[in-house]
Structure 1
Amino acid sequence: MSHDDSVAQNLKSPNPNRISDREVAAFWHKALTDLKRRTTLDESLPRTVLLNWRERVGKSSHKKAVQCLGGTLTFAELDAMSDSIAHYFLTRPFLSKGDCVAIMLPNLTQYVVTLLGILKAGMTVVNCNPLYTRPEIEHQLKDSGAKVLVTLANIAKTPAEATVPGLQEVIITEVADALPLPKRILINSIVRYVKKMVPPYQFDAGIKVTRFLDTCRPLTDEQIARVRDLEKLVNENDIAFIQYTGGTTGIAKGAQLSHRNICYNVQQSFGAFSPEWLERVQKIQDQPGSQNALSLLPLPFYHIYSLTCGFLSTTIGLGMTTTTLPNPREIKQLFKLMNEPNVMVVGMISTLMKLLLSRPEFDTVKLDPKTVIISGGMPTSPDVAAEWGKRTGTRITEGYGLTEASPLIAVADPLNPTSGVQGYPVAGTLIKLRDEEGRDLPLGKGSEVQGELLAKGPQVMVGYHKNKDETARIMSDDGYLMTGDVATIRADGLIEIVDRKKDMILVSGFNVYPNEIDAKAMATGLLLECATVGVPDAKTGERVVLYAVPAHKNLSQEKLSEALNESLTHYKRPSKIVFVDALPKNPVGKILRREVRKMESQK
């Protein structure tokens, strides 16, 4: 059932346990109108990534589109380079419209070239984490059915060891392939021969191996025309991405995101920016020459947050220059990029901000106070938000979402961002709460009413790739995406995520939410990071265990426990505190509570 059909069917809910879509829409219309936020979407805008790209190239061809490792491409140059790889895909006899091509790359110019090329050829992008182990990449390539993999020579050894019968070609790029000569040869030689950063690899004899640069040769006018003709055949319901979930909930599943899903979510993401900020960006873009407003995106593009809310929104949507680097933990380089003129937006996550703040060089960062700091992927720790604001003069705008929603569902009020809460629904999105018995809960009751957050909108995925059972489990009978997050909704519509539903700890019948314990622990100022988990207990059912990274080596468990006892009632207090050097995280820096549980179970 499509989003539009489910809305029509549920305008008047026949189920007494359900709040109808009409009632939900009425609540949000009032709340968002009072805040002067948009409640509807512009249906006249293009609904494929390619139409939006073609429009952007027409407006901004001479402007810088992407810069990385000291090299830049204008929108016209990026268009031409992606045309070339698109045409290469079209010449592969085993590839056709709708087939999957996997990208296993860090943030490099080659990533955006390849992404656009795949979409121009009418094919589907499968984003793969470059840090995947052999079983992980093997699962994803097999599950997606990818026929081609584009990867980096430095990490090619891992996929080369995988067994993927359907894989027919691997395109290998080197770090500096998008840079001009002689810089390209110099850097690639240093990486391979001096730093020895390219381990030997050997793919199966049946897999063709191609150099990335061989796919990027200049095209004739006739060949360009063929690519343009193919672009016109792509429609809004075609799958643009199979985006695998981040691994925080178990075996990764591939969310099918259509061009329509992505384009609506890009439009929805503009709610993170104030009209005044958008005017400032336009003023910079109106200046002659190739200089442009900068969108600093250090987080990996293979993660949907950085991809949609970063490159697709700020560069294709708003025409800004994407500035990035292969590794966001190259701190000195990141600080240098943060100090470039015209940085107007920075994509962040709480753990990366915490790391940056801990470095003495952070005081050299001079951001414009009007720079928008977008934070997603996990709730921003209040202590991080406070210190960041104090030391930079900028305010953090938080967003909330899931891979299955392209990802954005809610975003803070750009005129009055509040840390620690998830903001308000983006335009065209319905949100409600449901209890454990499947009953919809009244909206706008604040902390007295907590339930699982459900979302419906045009950004919600088509479904999980080749997994109807899992799709049925996450979609409600009235067409809502069941997020698995426990939330509250204030009278004015402000949404606050209390915790993950599955992470909730039940202690002697009392609900304990790990995020609350984490927040209290971080508020002591004694820790760098922490994660609370529940473990089985014969007496209380479950008990609370806190894993923490101390800010100082002389901190004792007793001192931390005393500090927590002042702010936590008895059943919420950790029964055990474990100090560790670091906590397991996913590639964008989100702490993996599931892995912390494993650490505890192995003791």
Structure 2
Amino acid sequence: MNKPWLNSYPSGVPPEIDLSRYGSITALFEESFRQYGERPAFACMGKSISYAQLDALSRRLAAWLQSRGLARGARVAIMMPNVLQYPVALAAILRAGYVVVNVNPLYTPRELEHQLKDSGAEAIVLLENFATTLQAVVQHTSIKHVVVATMGDLLGMKGWLVNFMVRRVKKMVPAWSLPGYTSFNAAIGEGARQSFQPVQQGLDDIAFLQYTGGTTGVSKGATLLHRNLIANLLQTQAWLAPARAKRPDVMQNVTVAALPLYHVFALTVCGLLSIHTGGLSVLIPNPRDMAGMIETLRSYRITMFPAVNTLYNAMLDHPDFDKLDFSQLFAVVGGGMAVQEAVAKRWFEKTGVPVVEGYGLTETSACVTCNPAVSVTWSGTIGLPLPSVEVSIRDDDNNALGVGVAGELCIRGPQVMAGYWQRPDETAKVMTPDGFFKSGDIAVMDESGLVKIVDRKKDMILVSGFNVYPNEIEDVVAQHPGVFEVAAVGVPDRHSGEAVKLFVVRRDPALTDAEIFTWCKERLTGYKRPKLVEFRDGLPKSNIGKILRRELRDGRVRYPE
């Protein structure tokens, strides 16, 4: 197909990436373990582990997992924020020949139960802070083996103090009971006395089940193969190479991992890419603690900072922002949500390095397009397709459209998922006959290949980079006995980009918004919860009775209160 974007590539970026070098993510990891052994690999709360330590710890945990009798390809869940135990568990699961199921640790029991049951996960590694959530649902799942970590496990002498503060002072660990569980350190210790059996893996083996919301309200697992993740980290590395070349004084990449590693963007850019390049990833367990995050980052000369617009904006507003060392910064990649021009301008004025906006989806192992890393102007677009990526703008009949004509953004490339886990019908809905993934976003492409998102085909809501699907919210709210009808839409929000707003028709005239907020808090994780409720006497519907969310969102239809 015609690829006009190749003519716009910065010097040094190849049109294609070479996937032949690595047979699996495990092979890529082990090369880094050998090559960068003494370098620090991950840091958290003032403590770091080296590549050699990551190698040893993950090997031991992998041996322990294998000793449980899990068959090759078994699904093992990780339910953690950004702590040192996360990369250890990640590497262990992959090295042992299993599949990683990333779980948002803030999920409610309802959300967790669905994901564990849908994936068929047989084991889980989680932080004790969230053990009570697992306790509520574990008997309804296939989980047989539970590894519970504490915040202080890998923090050396200060670990006891950290655990005391987390448990006793901050009261962040609700009481829990999981009979037969194994502590993280005990699993590592037992694994050291057992034999790890290397597993022969290939590019077409499954590496991750990465869950995304569904348009029907059912969360689906994107089946990501080893080839998908390797392709995307190599694509990202190639795209950032021109900016990296401008910093020959950088001895080791230092990446800020403020985005959660269970999110596909951070997984690829802050996790896998960092390991591949022998970088140091600075893990931030709670980026909402802006003062604490900035205090942590003052100890490092930051080179890469992938994040979302809201985080950049909040940092710029903090009085200690100017105390950070950006002297070696070369790449600031904004993803997950649109980067605002005002934020990009302020960031460039402060640091001298632009925020380059990219675009991706869970189903594409993250990155699809990105603005050139060496550009210094804000384009208002999502950039150019990365190496080995084909992008096609199509109409509803799957016809390719011309330059400047809006249509659905469709993507083909080595990072596109193998399909939705055990849902061939859902997979068929999003794949074209010639192998393009239909993104659900409406876009236009100009003569140079730059792509701009202009609308959404789906009713998805984007909250701080996380996908929120209205059907899921509506399903939860509709179960409230005081609700007759409900519609969820996205509305602009200064802090999170968008927020969830509900339009509710009461069954109980006494129903209040406070009752709805409480109901949602018990059943939905934070970013999915509605921030606004508007009560209506009725909701706009099509001639077949479908609620017209777009009319509610656009405010075209009004009903008397």
TM class, shorter-length:
0.7 to 0.9
Say if 1:274 and 1:415, in contact at 8 Å, map to a contact too. Answer: no
Match of 2:363 in 1: 404
The answer for unaligned runs of 5 or more in structure 1 is: 1-22, 286-291, 505-513, 519-530, 534-541, 552-583
Tell whether 2:393 aligns with 1:433: yes
1:65-464 equivalences under 5 Å are 65-93=41-69, 95-162=70-137, 163-180=139-156, 182-203=157-178, 208-217=180-189, 223=194, 226-227=196-197, 229-230=198-199, 233-245=200-212, 250-275=217-242, 277-278=244-245, 280=247, 283-285=249-251, 292-313=252-273, 315-368=274-327, 370-416=329-375, 418-442=378-402, 445-446=403-404, 449-464=405-420
1:42-81 equivalences under 5 Å are 42-81=18-57
CA shift, 1:90, in A, is 0.5
Rounded Cα–Cα distance in structure 2 between residues aligned with 1:219 and 1:279? 44
Say if 1:68 and 1:109, in contact at 8 Å, map to a contact too. Answer: yes
The letter of the residue matching 1:393 is G
Match of 1:471 in 2: 427
Rounded Cα–Cα distance in structure 2 between residues aligned with 1:194 and 1:305? 33
Rounded Cα–Cα distance in structure 1 between residues aligned with 2:34 and 2:349? 41
Rounded Cα–Cα distance in structure 2 between residues aligned with 1:401 and 1:547? 21
Match of 2:451 in 1: 495
Match of 1:305, SS state, is: helix
Match of 1:24 in 2: 2
Rounded Cα–Cα distance in structure 2 between residues aligned with 1:276 and 1:546? 36
1:516-527 equivalences under 5 Å are none
Say if 2:243 and 2:330, in contact at 8 Å, map to a contact too. Answer: no
CA shift, 1:333, in A, is 2.1
Say if 2:61 and 2:191, in contact at 8 Å, map to a contact too. Answer: no
CA shift, 1:371, in A, is 3.2
Q: Which whole-Å deviations, capped at 9, do the CAs of 1:257-281 have from their partners, x for residues lacking one?
A: 0001110111001134143524736
Q: Which whole-Å deviations, capped at 9, do the CAs of 1:182-230 have from their partners, x for residues lacking one?
A: 3112221232233322111123x5xx3111111112766x955x33x32
Rounded Cα–Cα distance in structure 2 between residues aligned with 1:500 and 1:297? 29
For residues 389 and 267 of structure 1, do their structure 2 counterparts lie closer, same or farther at Cα, with a shift above 3 Å needed? same
Rounded Cα–Cα distance in structure 2 between residues aligned with 1:152 and 1:483? 34
For residues 591 and 353 of structure 1, do their structure 2 counterparts lie closer, same or farther at Cα, with a shift above 3 Å needed? farther
Tell whether 2:442 aligns with 1:486: yes
Rounded Cα–Cα distance in structure 1 between residues aligned with 2:343 and 2:243? 26
CA shift, 1:170, in A, is 1.3
Rounded Cα–Cα distance in structure 2 between residues aligned with 1:385 and 1:600? 37
CA shift, 1:247, in A, is 6.8
Say if 2:80 and 2:86, in contact at 8 Å, map to a contact too. Answer: yes
Match of 1:39 in 2: 15
CA shift, 1:595, in A, is 4.9
The letter of the residue matching 2:374 is L
The answer for unaligned runs of 5 or more in structure 2 is: 471-486, 497-519, 540-560
Q: Which whole-Å deviations, capped at 9, do the CAs of 1:447-492 have from their partners, x for residues lacking one?
A: xx11111000010001100111110011112110000111111111
Rounded Cα–Cα distance in structure 2 between residues aligned with 1:590 and 1:368? 36
Rounded Cα–Cα distance in structure 1 between residues aligned with 2:246 and 2:39? 17
CA shift, 1:318, in A, is 1.1
Rounded Cα–Cα distance in structure 2 between residues aligned with 1:82 and 1:142? 26
Q: Which moved more, 1:323-332 or 1:431-440?
A: 431-440
Rounded Cα–Cα distance in structure 2 between residues aligned with 1:56 and 1:333? 30
Match of 2:294, SS state, is: helix
Say if 1:366 and 1:392, in contact at 8 Å, map to a contact too. Answer: no
Rounded Cα–Cα distance in structure 2 between residues aligned with 1:121 and 1:490? 46
The letter of the residue matching 2:124 is L
The letter of the residue matching 1:237 is D
Q: Which moved more, 1:132-141 or 1:352-361?
A: 352-361
For residues 243 and 599 of structure 1, do their structure 2 counterparts lie closer, same or farther at Cα, with a shift above 3 Å needed? farther
Rounded Cα–Cα distance in structure 1 between residues aligned with 2:527 and 2:150? 30
The letter of the residue matching 1:297 is A
Rounded Cα–Cα distance in structure 1 between residues aligned with 2:337 and 2:216? 14
For residues 453 and 319 of structure 1, do their structure 2 counterparts lie closer, same or farther at Cα, with a shift above 3 Å needed? same
The letter of the residue matching 2:100 is V
Normalised by the size of structure 2, how large is the TM-score? 0.80
Say if 1:412 and 1:423, in contact at 8 Å, map to a contact too. Answer: yes
Give the number of aligned pairs: 489
For residues 433 and 113 of structure 1, do their structure 2 counterparts lie closer, same or farther at Cα, with a shift above 3 Å needed? same
The letter of the residue matching 2:343 is V
Rounded Cα–Cα distance in structure 2 between residues aligned with 1:81 and 1:46? 23
Q: Which moved more, 1:339-348 or 1:379-388?
A: 339-348
Say if 1:102 and 1:126, in contact at 8 Å, map to a contact too. Answer: yes
CA shift, 1:47, in A, is 3.5
Rounded Cα–Cα distance in structure 1 between residues aligned with 2:354 and 2:55? 34
Q: Which whole-Å deviations, capped at 9, do the CAs of 1:353-384 have from their partners, x for residues lacking one?
A: 12222333334334227431111111111111
Rounded Cα–Cα distance in structure 2 between residues aligned with 1:183 and 1:248? 46
Match of 1:275, SS state, is: helix
The letter of the residue matching 2:357 is E
Rounded Cα–Cα distance in structure 1 between residues aligned with 2:495 and 2:71? 54
CA shift, 1:600, in A, is 7.3
Rounded Cα–Cα distance in structure 2 between residues aligned with 1:157 and 1:147? 18
RMSD: 3.1
Match of 2:234, SS state, is: helix
Say if 1:271 and 1:414, in contact at 8 Å, map to a contact too. Answer: no
Match of 2:321, SS state, is: helix
Match of 1:560 in 2: none
Rounded Cα–Cα distance in structure 1 between residues aligned with 2:52 and 2:171? 35
Say if 2:73 and 2:98, in contact at 8 Å, map to a contact too. Answer: yes
Q: Which whole-Å deviations, capped at 9, do the CAs of 1:101-137 have from their partners, x for residues lacking one?
A: 0000000000000000000100000000010001000
Q: Percent identity?
A: 35
